Amino acid sequence: MFIKRIEKKNNDSNKVYVYFRLMESYRTQSGPRQRKILDLGKLNSIDLKDHKELADLIEDELNGVERLFSTKRHLKELAKYFASLIIKDNLVKKEDNIPEERESKKEPSYIEVDESSIVALNTKTIGAEYVGLSMLKELGLDNYLSTLGFSKDHIDLSILSIMSRLIYPSSEHATKYWAQNISALDVLLSTSFEHISQNALYRISDKLFSYKDQIEDYLSQKQKDLFSLKETLILYDLTNTYFEGLGKAQKLSFGYSKEKRYDCPLITLGLVIDNLGFVKHTQIFEGNVSEPKTLVSILDFLSSYSVERPTIAIDAGIASEDNIELIKQKGFDYICVARNKNTFKDLLFQEEKVLDDQTTISLCKVQEEAILFVQSKGRQKKEEAMKSKAKEAFEKNLKTIVEHIKQNKHPKKYDKVLEQISRLKEKHSLVSRFYTIDIKQEDNLVKSIDYSLEEEKINKRFNGSCYIRTSRTDLDEGQIKDLYSMLTRVEESFRNLKSELGLRPNFHQKEDCIEPHIFITTLAYHMLNTIIYKLRSKDIHYSWNTVRTILSTYTLNTIALKTRNNKQIYISSCTQLQPLQKQIYEALEINPLPVARKSISK
């Protein structure tokens, strides 16, 4: 082997670019020939006089030869790196791979091996990558991107971005490391990610986002056809995500954050899914958007989406009277939780029915609407815990203000104290409205503060009951309860997006990167929900985190060994499938062997 200098000239600027190749000489009947082994790049880190030694070291690494005398450390490390690329490239390109069904019929082949020479060169994860890629191909997303004009390289980068978000959600910098050092996704795609850059990942996200509507429409229709989805119930809800960076964007703004991250700008994601969790549409709104105002554009989408008119399920935050009227005008049925319990307290309900030890329901039908009263012991326990925690926090802060005034540690000016209590009531709005606070003042100075809790009112608010409203007057009590329970699908979807796919937190600071980041996450969710749906259809109820954990030990390994006659052999093969891994593969109906066993000899 030897290193050859290659020069290329730029016709526009007459600039000459120099890089190097590792070449190999071999003999043919027509005489000696040369062939390229590997592109080495510019090799700026080593002197020209060291090129011969580097080529020799690479050849030694490939042949398993250990030098008796020490050599330059940086040359040794570089040689190991280039040798690993050559081995990987040869294993990927090897054409005489034997498929699983033929491998079992292959005649045994025995060799004598030097036991001390057996080395595991590298191990890369392939289990979750294979599952995610199989679902992506089943949905035909790779072929659809081709119809949009994506090149093979762009399709591979798109798959990398989506699979990384599905399996290893992190920054573009970490994605690059994952692709090059941890994952065997490149082997599954028969490509190489050795030279990808962070900018390439940013650019492919932008390119995918530019086709957002087309891709979402395609995936929605494909899943509908593939799984015979009925789409009789459509669920709509909102969530926001915060950004660690301080980037300025039109849709970024400070607002209410459930995570209490009021220091970070927010952006809001509207999610439209069916009762099985399949995404129909996503829309991004300003971070401080008013929930009820978002419904108009969603109804416009649903009106154009299908001639059918499904029932729309929304939560109390969106279910204003104006929105309910708007839904009816658009020709849709609706189901939601009433925003105000007092509106229906005087209605005459039917006799209570006991669903189980935890829940009782009763129904009342008024004009064109059915109202279902639900009393749940489980919900009551949850609300009691919320109430106790909120009360404790509010009273603790209120007592601090009172004590500081008594001890003369607090400014006693009436307007200042009133401002401080107003901020406190706003912060703890869940319970503060049930307190009566009496501030006694004289000459604009506060003398004392007394407060009391209206126990009866707060207990009514947190009693585990709710009223469910629906225009579906054809349904009985149990059917209405079951229909509304489907809203938990939205909560599960948001949990998957945020906890399992890394929607939050987000470290982007540039406006152009924010929406593509969210879109890549929703594309990964398409794959996730397809996997979970197919597993549940086979009565396997794992979360995606559990699936990832189970598959994390299924790896692709490259082993090096030396035979008795001093021949170096490299073998690439997957680990033996464990029972739970095999169960997942069989449930998803995918080949249990991602790649066939391969070997090369030097």
Cα 542 from chain centroid (whole Å): 16
- The residue that leads in pLDDT, 238 or 372, is 372
d(CA 57, CA 49): 14
119: pLDDT strictly greater than 60: yes
User: For 575-586, what is each residue's pLDDT tens digit?
Assistant: 999 999 999 999
Number of structural domains found in the chain: 5
The reply to whether 361 and 393 lie within a common domain is: no
The domain in which residue 277 lies consists of: 212-342+354-370+469-537
* Predicted confidence band of residue 156 (pLDDT cuts 50, 70, 90): very high
For residue 558, being part of any structural domain is answered with: yes
The reply to whether 385 and 310 lie within a common domain is: no
The reply to whether 338 and 359 lie within a common domain is: yes
Question: Which segment of 226-230, 262-266, 356-360 scores lowest on mean pLDDT?
Answer: 262-266
The reply to whether 39 and 153 lie within a common domain is: no
d(CA 433, CA 453): 9
For residue 103, being part of any structural domain is answered with: no
Q: What is the pLDDT of residue 558?
A: 87
Burial 61-96 (b: 16+ CB within 10 A, else e): bbebeeeeeeeeeebbebbeebbebbbbebbbeeee
Helix (H) or strand (E) holding 266: strand 266-274
* Predicted confidence band of residue 205 (pLDDT cuts 50, 70, 90): very high
DSSP letter for each residue of 436-484 = EEEEEEETTEEEEEEEEE-HHHHHHHTSSEEEEEES-TTS-HHHHHHHH
Contact 351, 373 (CB under 8 A): no
Rg of the chain over all Cα atoms, to the nearest angstrom? 32
Contact 184, 590 (CB under 8 A): no
User: For 131-140, what is each residue's pLDDT tens digit?
Assistant: 999 999 999 9
* Predicted confidence band of residue 97 (pLDDT cuts 50, 70, 90): very low
For residue 544, being part of any structural domain is answered with: no
Bridge partners, residue 268, by sequence: 240, 285
Q: Torsion-angle region of residue 199: left (phi > 0), alpha (psi -120 to 50) or beta?
A: alpha
The reply to whether 238 and 337 lie within a common domain is: yes
Contact 478, 340 (CB under 8 A): no
- Helix runs in 178-314, H state only: 185-189, 198-210, 212-227, 295-305
Q: Which of 194, 211, 228 is the last residue of a domain?
A: 211
For residue 571, being part of any structural domain is answered with: yes
* Residue keyed to tokens 């957002």: 212
* Predicted confidence band of residue 552 (pLDDT cuts 50, 70, 90): very high
Q: In what order do the strands lie in the sheet with 266-274?
A: 279-286, 266-274, 233-242, 311-314, 333-337, 465-470, 369-376, 359-366, 353-354
Cα distances from 270 to residues 41, 254, 296, 430, 490, in angstroms, run 46, 17, 12, 24, 11
* Residue keyed to tokens 């289990």: 127
Give me the chain's average pLDDT, please: 83
79: pLDDT strictly greater than 60: yes
For residue 331, being part of any structural domain is answered with: yes
For residue 130, being part of any structural domain is answered with: no
Mean pLDDT, rounded, for 344-373 = 82
The reply to whether 171 and 152 lie within a common domain is: yes
Q: What is the pLDDT of residue 55?
A: 82
The reply to whether 406 and 335 lie within a common domain is: no
Cα 414 from chain centroid (whole Å): 50
For residue 332, being part of any structural domain is answered with: yes
Residue 155, φ and ψ in degrees, nearest 5 = -65, -45
Q: What is the pLDDT of residue 106?
A: 59
Work out whether the CA dihedral 192, 197, 201, 204 comes out positive or negative: negative
For residue 543, being part of any structural domain is answered with: no
d(CA 571, CA 371): 67
211: pLDDT strictly greater than 80: yes
Q: What is the pLDDT of residue 56?
A: 82
Select, from the ranges 151-155, 234-238, 353-357, 557-561, the one with the highest average predicted confidence (pLDDT).
Answer: 151-155
Q: What is the pLDDT of residue 245?
A: 55
Helix (H) or strand (E) holding 556: strand 555-563
The reply to whether 175 and 229 lie within a common domain is: no
d(CA 168, CA 188): 17
Contact 532, 544 (CB under 8 A): yes
Q: Which of 155, 185, 211 is the last residue of a domain?
A: 211
Q: What is the pLDDT of residue 480?
A: 87
User: For 396-449, what is each residue's pLDDT tens digit?
Assistant: 988 888 888 777 755 578 888 888 888 888 888 888 888 898 888 877 788 888
The reply to whether 494 and 522 lie within a common domain is: yes
d(CA 531, CA 496): 13
461: pLDDT strictly greater than 90: no
Helix (H) or strand (E) holding 27: strand 16-28
Q: What is the pLDDT of residue 104?
A: 47
Instruction: Let me know the angle formed at the C-alpha of 89 by 88 and 95, rounded to the nearest 5 degrees.
Output: 110
* Predicted confidence band of residue 368 (pLDDT cuts 50, 70, 90): confident
Q: Which of 433, 461, 489 is the last residue of a domain?
A: 461
The reply to whether 328 and 181 lie within a common domain is: no
The reply to whether 36 and 170 lie within a common domain is: no
Q: What is the pLDDT of residue 85?
A: 78
* Residue keyed to tokens 């579906």: 472
Output the six-digit token pair for 18: 């120099």
Structure pTM? Answer: 0.77
d(CA 107, CA 473): 70
User: Which residues, at least 6 apart from 455, have a Cβ–Cβ distance to it below 8 Å?
Assistant: none
Q: What is the pLDDT of residue 578?
A: 93
Q: What is the pLDDT of residue 466?
A: 84
Residue 482, φ and ψ in degrees, nearest 5 = -65, -40
d(CA 3, CA 51): 6
Mean pLDDT, rounded, for 382-394 = 90
86: pLDDT strictly greater than 80: no
| Dihedral angle over CA of 330, 331, 334, 338, nearest 10 | 60
d(CA 576, CA 138): 25
Nearest to 295, CA basis, from 308, 286, 283: 283
User: Which residues, at least 6 apart from 145, have a Cβ–Cβ distance to it below 8 Å?
Assistant: 154, 155, 158, 215
d(CA 328, CA 334): 8
- The residue that leads in pLDDT, 39 or 252, is 39
63: pLDDT strictly greater than 80: no
The reply to whether 12 and 156 lie within a common domain is: no
Q: What is the pLDDT of residue 267?
A: 76
Instruction: Let me know the angle formed at the C-alpha of 165 by 159 and 168, rounded to the nearest 5 degrees.
Output: 110
* Residue keyed to tokens 């400014």: 411
d(CA 79, CA 41): 13
